[in-house]
A and B are shown apart, each in its own frame.
Chain A
Amino acid sequence: MQMQSSWYERIAAPRSSTCLACSRTIPYYGDLEELKAEQWRRSLCPSCVERIPFIEEVGCSSCGRHIRCEDCQRQPLQQYGLAYNRSVVQYQEHMKEWLALCKFKGNQSIAFVMAGMMIEQYMPLSLTAKVNKPTRSSSDWWSMLKEWWNPESIIEYPDLVTYVPSSLERLEERGFNQAELLAGTLAKAWGRPLLNCLDRTRDTGKQSQQSRAGREQSLEGTFTWNQAAFQGIRFYMARQLKPYLHILLVDDVYTTGSTIRACARALQDGLRELHIQGMVSSYTWARA
């Protein structure tokens, strides 16, 4: 079965890559590691890029859903210590496939693409959250002018990036935590520290098979704040001039928000314990 193409064919053949999502042939883009985060589109084929259901209009200013939602009106996220959530895409069928490729098939390149999308969309999305704007006196015309001229310029990146931890058991099985991968890429792009602030004390089993009430119940006390990490935060705060801290909590998908709310509550507990003033917002790749 010596069907090797001959050497000249190999040299002459144009190098090509395959689309990460659908394996179609696309122009060669080289090593994924070398690619900058903004260049994530190059590792996908045009039709896959086309089909990404970006959340262009934020329907719910609290949870970042593309339509208005009643949950947030009944129980605003602020109650749980979460300032707001933003997500990049709607969690549709083929986005689910992407996530499955990453989570279950273990294709970590997809996480790189997801993180690229998150970095690209962070500014426009966080502009829609009012809390992000620093409080200022109304007479500060210079900053008003600046805001009018370029609204993104007054938004600051979060001070710290953290992620929803996965249980040790699952980590051992998969070898990686996709939320950590996303958070790591974000932190690297922004030059912010990535910190594992939370511990997962137990595995809650398959979440998708539980009812809503069951989920809330089972998440009770699942996440605790990490003592060492928060000491680190205090150390970090001492060197900063800023009086308050913005922690960004990263996860892959926001379904009902129970996981993220539980995490935010644990983070707030930690902040309160150590007397640090801070805000926790979350940023996920997809929003159901």
Chain B
Amino acid sequence: MKVWLYAIRLNTGWVMNISLARELDAQYWKAITSNTTADSPHDRCHHELQRRNTHRRWLRQAWFETKVGFQVGMAVVRLFEKESSALPLDHWQEEEWEQAILAWIRKAQLMLGQQGHRSRKRVDIDHAAIRVSSKTELDLLEAGTCSDTFGHQFKKRSCKIAMFDWQEGASGAVQRENSSEWPSSELDWECSRLSQQLCGRALFESELLSMLSGKGAAWSKGQLHAVIQWGLLNGSLTVHSGVTWPLLEEGQGSMRRNAGDIQAHADSAGKDKGQIPSGAGRRRDIHRQGSFKRSFILVLRQWGLSLFGRASSLTSLCRLVTSGVLRWSRMLWRREKQQLPYCLRCGALGDELQVSACESCGSSRCYTCMACLQLARSRSCALLVSSTWGERRHQGLNDVRHRQVYHWDDVNSLFIYELDTLDLAQHQKASGSPAESSVEVEALLEPYHLAPAQWDASRGALQYLSSRLSKEHSDQGQFLLWAVTGAGKTEMMFPMTAFMLANKKKVCIATPRKDVVLELMPRIKKAFPEAKVVTLYGGSEERFESGEITLTTTHQLLRFRDAFDLMVVDELDAFPYHNNPMLERAAKLACKGGGTFVYLSATPPSALARAARRGQLAQATVPVRYHRHPLPVPKRLPMPPVARMIASGRLPSRVVGALHHAVLRGAQLFIFVARIRHIDGAVALLRKSFPQQAIAGTSAADAKRAEKVLAFRSGEIRILVTTTILERGVTVPKSDVFIWDADNKLFDEASLVQMAGRAGRSKDDPNGSVYFGSSQWTRSQSAATRQIRRMNRLAKRGGYLLAK
């Protein structure tokens, strides 16, 4: 979209603003300067004006009479902030303004990579000697159409700049027929309502409109723009480009600037420089100032720490050296990427952005994000509106957050460790006086009938949460709840949620799949009848609702911004999360700056597990299932590859023996194979050996998967051949697990542990058996077995196991 640009002389100095609806700006500044608004919420600014400058109350304005693309407008505002302080703006006349603004626009276009690029299409037109007016901004400028929105009150010396002084009492200064169309008080009200509804969200125009119409307010686009503009002026809303540039996002939140705020901004900026409290601030510094030395030292320190911790042999020393070098080079490479555009909504950059000529903003290089296209179209010139409702008290915090947006994910694997150590230290310090908090914690744990292991882990989590709450944090806390398969993770969510609700905090439970959301919803609603529970998934009705508890699929998190204090991420190693940086970024953005993540997983990703093991990450482990029996340890079953068995048409007798044993004891069988194409063959083989058993095979490609899973759950199907698609979620009471081709590289440690976790889930049959069938014993098999043994050992040591 395109916006107006104008500069205004406030008592404190000149300010450049963008405007979506210029009548509104006129109305706003008029309201500010005149006396009639004493009752309205922006009397703060009014008093400010009065206090500081009672003798001179006029506002000089310079309007640029051509609309520019939104992103260009934002860039000009940034440039103005940087460069204007040295300029004698008060003495400028139209000509100077025009030259300066044109120069800024050119510079902005240069910075955004728009100059000199004409799409090839247009070149082709030239060759045919037929010119079509190309609609780039500068061409429009040269065409110089003058619009005359403000009437004839001021003398125009330049075609492109309208300047006028605005004096109190001089009622003739701006007389517009439609100024009474939307009274200021009403605008204020609408604005604060919108700001409230938008709290914790970041939405595009189209989403805003559908949100509003869902709430019974069918606004037109013009009305929406009017309200947004009013919100920008009084500081209750902020806008950003959907696809933005680091240089547009740095600096203080310039969009919410008004007469009163300027001083506050200056003050807070000064304070900010003095003490940057958080790791986030430190991180930003490193990125911004390009201080190679500092980053190098940091890397060295980090790497040196791990060196002393681990370098036991020469090979590991070499590995550490290389990884250190690689990390460093990766960081340098990252910094180079800093000037590239990125999607503010999902953080995508590079290949995921599509460049095209755009008629909305008139730019020849307008970026569209392909990664989050399914939610809404994020473009360079799209307004991403968010509110400052909840955060106006914590402005400094908020600004830090916005800058963190795009580079948290990669390099920080370095820094996050450090942050966590910090956290941990604070955590330990805070829990040094557990006397009164523990009482409270025990009371919270009481109603949920937790098993001892669950109880202890939940207490750990609650203590961590209370230590986080007891102090203001500017970074996000992380807590890993490592609970083995079948430990009862859902029950452990309840005390945490209850704790946060008791402290009037917002909770989000993010799960990978829609069916989990639907399964969880009634249980959560039952556990917290007094709280408002919102469930979000693709196609859900409550898309724009907000409540104390939000149950959501991970994709829906993209619509949130700084919304939650506690973010429970379920099964973070599972499908949509794992290796999907977009969703990780979405989760980080949706959580408040000082919020806390609790990760629930039976098989946490190795980096997280390592950090937890080294004590760099706060964590609690639930090493035993809710029925307090040890996990079945996988047994090794040597067997030929599945492909060869299918080709030869027979199962080895040893395999048949093991299967026979399982069938005899009346268990249902999971048989996992690595490849979809092996399923039919495996089913045929099994049918030959076990003609009386109901045997079926299913995979991701199977349309009847849901029915077959149901039949298996109900016990109609006794043997189910499947792939990793069913490695989690499906649980039957009495089951044995066979993993064929366990040496296949598709089965990593995590999926082996998950598959092994299908056995022995019920109280009545806690000792199901698990077989890793393979011709060779691979590293992931031994790692999985080791992990399971370790959990059993921990359980025994903690005394969680039932006495024999």
Interface residues of A (CB under 8 A from B): 1-5, 7, 105-109, 171-177, 184, 187-188, 191-196, 229, 232-233, 235-236, 239
Residues A3 and B124 in contact, CB atoms below 8 Å apart:
no
Question: Do residues A7 and B326 form an inter-chain contact, with CB atoms below 8 A?
Answer: yes
Give the residues from 565 to 618 in chain B that come closer than 8 angstroms, CB to CB, to chain A. 569, 572-573, 577-579, 581, 584, 587-588, 597, 599, 605, 607-608, 611
B109-117, B126-134, B527-535: which lies at the interface:
B126-134
Q: Is B676 an interface residue (CB 8 A)?
A: no
* Contact in complex: B413, A106 (CB < 8 Å): no
Given that A3-B607, A4-B607 are contacting pairs, would A196 and B132 also be in contact in the complex, using a CB cutoff of 8 Å?
Answer: yes
Contacts of B756 in A (CB 8 A): none
Interface status of B515 (Cβ within 8 A of chain A)? no
Number of B interface residues at 8 Å Cβ cutoff, please give it: 51
**A232/B578 in contact, CB under 8 A:** no
Task: Tell me, rounded to whole Å, the shortest Cβ–Cβ distance linking A10 to chain B.
Answer: 10
Report B687 CB to chain A, min CB distance, Å. Answer: 30
CB distance from A34 to the nearest CB of B (A): 12
Contact of B129 among A4, A5, A191, A236 (CB under 8 A): A236
Contact with A along B351-369 (1 / 0, CB 8 A): 0001011111100001010
B120 at the interface (CB under 8 A from A): yes
Known contacts A3-B579, A4-B410, A232-B131; is-contact A172 B608 (Cβ 8 Å): no
Q: Which residues of B are found within 8 Å of A3, using beta-carbon distances?
A: 572-573, 577-579, 584, 605, 607-608
Pairs of residues from A and B, 10 with the lowest C-beta to C-beta distance, nearest first: A193-B128, A232-B130, A175-B360, A175-B358, A106-B377, A3-B605, A184-B121, A2-B607, A2-B413, A171-B359
For the complex, is B409 an interface residue (Cβ under 8 Å from A)? Answer: yes
CA distance A106 to B599 in the complex (A): 35
Instruction: Decide: A175 and B381 in contact? CB cutoff 8 A.
Output: yes
In contact, A188 and B124 (Cβ under 8 angstroms): yes
Taken together as a complex, chains A and B put the C-alpha atoms of A187 and B132 apart, in Å, by: 14
Given contacts A3-B573, A4-B410, A4-B607, contact A175 B366 (CB under 8 A): yes
Q: Is the CB of B124 within 8 A of A1?
A: no
Whether B373 is near chain A, meaning CB under 8 Å from some CB there, is yes
| B359 near A175: Cβ-Cβ < 8 Å | yes
Q: Given the complex, which residues of A lie within 8 Å of B370, measured CB to CB?
A: 107, 109
CA distance A7 to B324 in the complex (A): 12
- Expressed in whole angstroms, the Cα–Cα distance for A191 and B360 within the complex equals 27
Least Cβ–Cβ distance between B99 and chain A, in angstroms: 29
Given contact pairs A2-B608, A3-B605, A236-B128, A175 touches B361 in the complex (Cβ within 8 A): yes
Report the bound CA distance from A53 to B174 in whole Å: 61
B478 on interface, CB distance cutoff 8 Å:
yes
User: B373 touching A177 by the CB < 8 A rule?
Assistant: no
Q: Knowing that A1-B478, A105-B377, A108-B356 are A-B contacts, what are 6 other residue pairs whose CB atoms are under 8 Å apart, sorted by A's residue number?
A: A1-B572, A175-B359, A175-B381, A188-B121, A194-B124, A235-B130
- B730 interface hit (Cβ, 8 Å): no
What residue in chain A is nearest B587 (Cβ atoms)?
A1
Chain B, residues 657-679, CB within 8 Å of chain A (1/0): the string is: 00000000000000000000000
B1 lies within 8 A of A172 (CB) = yes
Instruction: Name the residue among A3, A4, A109, A171 with the largest chain B CB count within 10 angstroms.
Output: A3
Kindly state whether residue B125 has any CB partner on chain A within 8 Å: yes
What are the residues of chain B within 8 A of A193 when measuring CB–CB?
Answer: 124-125, 127-128, 130
Q: B501 to chain A: closest CB distance in Å?
A: 24
Q: How far is the CA of A174 from the CA of B572 in the complex (A)?
A: 36
How close is B323's CB to chain A, nearest CB, in angstroms?
Answer: 9
Q: 15 pairs across A/B with beta carbons < 8 Å?
A: A1-B608, A3-B572, A105-B373, A106-B377, A106-B379, A108-B354, A108-B356, A175-B381, A176-B358, A184-B121, A193-B125, A193-B127, A193-B128, A194-B132, A232-B129
Q: Which residue on chain A has the smallest CB distance to residue B411?
A: A4
Are B373 and A5 in contact, with the CB atoms below 8 A? no
Minimum CB distance partner of A231 in chain B = B130
Smallest beta-carbon distance B779→chain A, Å: 15
In the assembled complex, how far is the CB of residue A166 from the closest CB belonging to chain B, in whole angstroms? 9
What is the bound-complex CA distance between A105 and B473, given in angstroms? 39
- CA of A184 to CA of B413, assembled, Å: 46
* Inter-chain contact A2/B416, CB cutoff 8 Å: yes
Beyond A193-B125, A195-B130, whether A5 also contacts B579 by CB under 8 A is: yes
Q: Which one of B360, B366, B584 lies within 8 Å of A172 (CB-CB)?
A: B360
* CB neighbours of A172 from chain B (8 A): 1-2, 359-360
CA A108 – CA B588 in complex, angstroms? 30
- A-side contacts of B357, CB under 8 Å: 176
CB of B56 within 8 A of chain A?
no
Residues of B within 8 Å of A239, CB to CB, are 129
Asked if residues B124 and A187 are in contact (CB atoms below 8 Å), the reply is: yes
Task: Please indicate which of the listed interface residues B127, B129, B359 has the most CB atoms of chain A within 10 Å of its own CB.
Answer: B359
- At the interface, yes or no: B301 with Cβ under 8 Å from chain A? no
Contacts of A2 in B (CB 8 A): 412-413, 416, 605, 607-608, 611
> Which residues on the B side are within 8 Å of A191 (C-beta)?
124
Given the complex of chains A and B, what is the CA–CA distance between A4 and B611 in angstroms?
14
- Interchain CB contact under 8 A, B360 and A173: yes
B665 to chain A, nearest CB (A): 39
The answer on a CB contact under 8 Å between A107 and B125 is no
Q: How far is the CA of A171 from the CA of B410 in the complex (A)?
A: 38
Please, which residues of chain B bring their CB within 8 A of the CB of A173?
360
User: Cβ of B330: which chain A residues have Cβ within 8 Å of it?
Assistant: 7
In whole angstroms, what is the CA distance A192 to B128 when docked? 8
Partner of A188, one of B120, B359, B381: B120
Closest approach, in angstroms, between the C-beta of A195 and any C-beta of chain B?
6
- How far, in whole Å, are A109 and B356 apart by their CA atoms in the complex? 10
Which chain A residue lies CB-closest to B361? A175
Query: CB-CB < 8 A to B578: which residues of A?
Result: 3
Residues of A within 8 A of B572 (CB): 1, 3
Given A232-B130, A236-B129, A236-B130, are A4 and B413 also a contact pair (CB < 8 Å)?
Answer: yes
State how many angstroms separate the Cβ of A29 from the closest Cβ of chain B.
12
Bound Cα distance A203, B91 (Å): 46
Query: Is B359 within 8 A of A176, CB to CB?
Result: yes
Query: Per a CB cutoff under 8 Å, which of B127, B368, B584, B608 touches A108?
Result: B368
A106-B132 contact in complex given A3-B607, A171-B359, C-beta closer than 8 Å:
no
A5 to B581, CA, bound (A): 10
A235 CA / B130 CA spacing, docked (Å): 8
Taking a contact as CB atoms under 8 Å apart, the answer to whether B368 and A195 are in contact is no
For A187, the chain B residues whose CB sits under 8 A away are: 121, 124
Provide the bound-state CA to CA distance between A11 and B608, in Å. 22
* Chain A proximity mask over B92-121: 1 for CB below 8 Å, otherwise 0: 000000000000000000000000000011
What is the distance, in angstroms, from B628's C-beta to the closest C-beta of chain A? 31
Which chain A residue has the least Cβ–Cβ distance from B409? A4
Least CB separation from A30: chain B residue: B351
A284 to B129, CA, bound (A): 26
The residue on A at minimum CB distance from B121 is: A184
CA distance A184 to B359 in the complex (A): 15
Task: Give A101's nearest chain B residue, CB to CB.
Answer: B373
Q: How far is the CA of A196 from the CA of B130 in the complex (A)?
A: 10
Docked complex Cα distance between A188 and B381 (Å): 27
> Nearest residue in A to B597 (C-beta to C-beta)?
A1
Nearest CB of B to A258, in Å:
25
Residues of B within 8 A of A105 (CB): 373-374, 377
A106–B368 CB distance below 8 A: yes
State the Cβ distance, A135 to closest chain B Cβ, in Å.
26
Q: How far is the CA of A193 from the CA of B413 in the complex (A)?
A: 53
| B121 surroundings in chain A (CB, below 8 A) | 184, 187-188, 194
- Chain B residue at minimum C-beta to C-beta distance from A195: B130
**Interface hub of A4, A192, A236 (most chain B Cβ within 10 A):** A4
Cβ A174 vs Cβ B368 within 8 A? no
Q: Which positions 59-94 of chain B face chain A at CB distance < 8 Å?
A: none
CB nearest neighbor in A for B416: A2
Nearest to B124 among chain A residues (CB) is A188
User: How far apart are A183's CB and chain B's nearest CB, in angstroms?
Assistant: 9
> Is the beta-carbon distance between B373 and A107 smaller than 8 angstroms?
yes
| Distance of B639 from chain A, by nearest CB (Å) | 29
